Every structure is written in structure tokens, then in C-alpha cells.
A and B are shown apart, each in its own frame.
Chain A
Amino acid sequence: MARHALLGQSEMLVLLAVLRLGREAYGVPISREIAAHIGRDPAVAGIYATLERLERRGLITAAMGEPTAARGGRAKTYFSITVTGLKQLRASQEALQRFWSGIPQLVGDKP
């Protein structure tokens, strides 16, 4: 396993949201997707900070969309996951699953 394979929690959440949304992945749906799954509305700036970090690491790419009136004439920035990003996400998932498995207290429904 690569040394830096494990992603941070916010990075994993944002990458999963980008994957789920596919071609419609920009700021607003990403934050709504995360809020729908974790039950807490994340900060818009926090999401963009994570997206910038992921972009710098080459895990996602950004592309500008068309400006719309609802956004005050400002364009959307669409994000998509790269092959490296997908590999990193999978590696993180496998590492976490290995770490979670075999703990007797977490087996079954009882607390």
C-alpha cells in the first residue's frame, strides 16, 4: 500500500459526492449531496478548499460551465474525478475496510 493512499474524511466525502453526481458535480449539488448523506450542511468555502486541494494533487479536474442568471451571471465550475483519484479512493476504501473488519464490538446490530 502506498504511504499516502489514505484520504482525509472531507476529501473522501467530496470525491464520493463528485462520483455520485457525475456530470452535474459543481459546488451546490456537491454540498447538497454531502448534506443528504451525513445530515449536516457543510460550508461552501470548506468544500471549495477541499476541491482545490484535490485538484492540486491531481485527483480531480475542473472545467468552467456557462454563466447563468440564477448565479448572478457567474459560471459554474464542474469537477470530475481522474483515474488517479479513483485509485486513491479505492485504496482508501480498502484500507479502511481492512481496519474495520475483525473488531468483535462492531459485529452485529447491538451497541
Chain B
Amino acid sequence: MNQSAGLRVAVWLVARLTYGERRESILGDLLERHAQGETGWWLLRQALCTVFIGLKKAIGQYGLLFALALTAAWATVFAFGIVNSIIRNEVGRLGPSITRDAPWSHHLYFVAFLISIAQLCFGYALAVWIAVRIYRPHPRLLVCVLAALHVAAGMPWAIRLVQDLMTNARYLEGLLWHLGLTTVTTVTIIASGFWTANRMARHREGRLTN
């Protein structure tokens, strides 16, 4: 990683994901060290370390609220997951009959598939929205934790699919499906979370100005 890319990512991480009165001082120190010739990797390592220490502090200060936000997000995703599996089962049952009966059924099947994905994404967005509304002190940090937990939760299944793929190539479709779905849902979590956090920040600023 070159110096300027490392600097850009490091500044973004510290500016967006850390809180507290010393944030500006830390950013200033990183910029000064960059000017003195530190590498992009060094800056990135320092930024990740800053985020991690900030996370530890945030959990220490508002641990109960943090746990409550995570639980609420998980409960919402779980509820939507149940509904989604019902929709997918119904579409799966419907699939063979409509394919036989009508030539336009492929399109119908595809629409049903899209509805299923949209429903799942809506579930994730709603879960993140609820979590961010509960954990107001450090919303962007919470969003990153939720996204990281979501990716980590999907890891065992992805590893299992890769292992299966070693023995049989027909598992490739399943692996791609899993990776695609994880990417779409992770992007939904980050986008909706940051959108909610930014909206809340703007609302707070507006209230302070008035």
C-alpha cells in the first residue's frame, strides 16, 4: 500500500469510527508522522488500533446499551430470516408447476426471487436502523461491529462450501450464491447504518443550531 492511500484510509477510519475529545489530536499526530515518512501500512495499523481501542472504551462505557442494540438487531434479522425461509420454500414449491404451465413463468420465478432478496435486505436495514437508534453514542462504530459480526457469522458456512467444492464442482453455485448474498447484505448493513447515523447527526446539529 502506498503512503497516500494508507493515509486516506487511516484518516477516514479515525475520523468516521472514533469519538472523543482527543480524536483531532490523534489525527494530527498521524498526519505529522506521515509527513515524517511513516509508511502507509504503519498509518493503517495505527488507525485500526485507534478504532479497536475506541471500541473497547465504547463497550466499557455503554456496555448494556451496546448489548441491547446487538440483541435487538439479531432478533429483527432472525424474525425476517424466518419469513424469508417461508417465502423461499413457497417459491421453491411453486417453481416446477409454473414453469410447466406458462412460458412467462421464468420471469415470475425471477421476480419472486428478487422479492425474497429485497425482503431480506429490508430486514437487515430495519435491524441496523433499530440498533443505531438504541446505541446513539457511537453509531458508526456499532454499524461496523454489526457488519463484521455478520461476515464472521457467514464464515463457517463459506469454509464448509469451499471444502465441499474441493470434492465436487457442483458446490460452486452454492458458494457463489452464499458469497453474493453475504456481500449484498453486508453492503445493506453498512449503507443503511451510515445513512441512519448521518441523518441522526444532521438532526442533532439542526437542533443545536435552532
Chain A facing B: main interface SS:
helix
Tell me whether B50 and A45 are in contact (CB under 8 A). yes
Known: A43-B46, A44-B50. A52 touches B22 (CB 8 A): yes
Which residue of B is nearest A52, CB measured?
B22
Tell me whether A45 and B25 are in contact (CB under 8 A). no
Tell me whether B32 and A77 are in contact (CB under 8 A). no
The answer to whether B31 has its CB under 8 Å from any CB of chain A is yes
The answer to whether B29 has its CB under 8 Å from any CB of chain A is yes
Known: A45-B53, A45-B54. A70 touches B35 (CB 8 A): yes
User: In which size bucket is the chain B interface?
Assistant: 20 to 34
| Residues in chain A near residue B24, CB distance under 8 A | 74-75
Option from B27, B31, B46, B57 in Cβ contact (under 8 Å) with A49 = B57
Extra contacts, 20 of them, besides A44-B29, A45-B46 (Cβ < 8 A), are A27-B26, A27-B28, A43-B46, A44-B26, A44-B30, A44-B49, A44-B50, A45-B50, A45-B52, A45-B53, A46-B49, A48-B25, A52-B22, A68-B28, A71-B27, A71-B31, A74-B24, A74-B28, A74-B31, A77-B22
Footprint of B on A, CB under 8 Å?
A: 26-28, 31, 43-46, 48-49, 51-52, 68, 70-72, 74-77
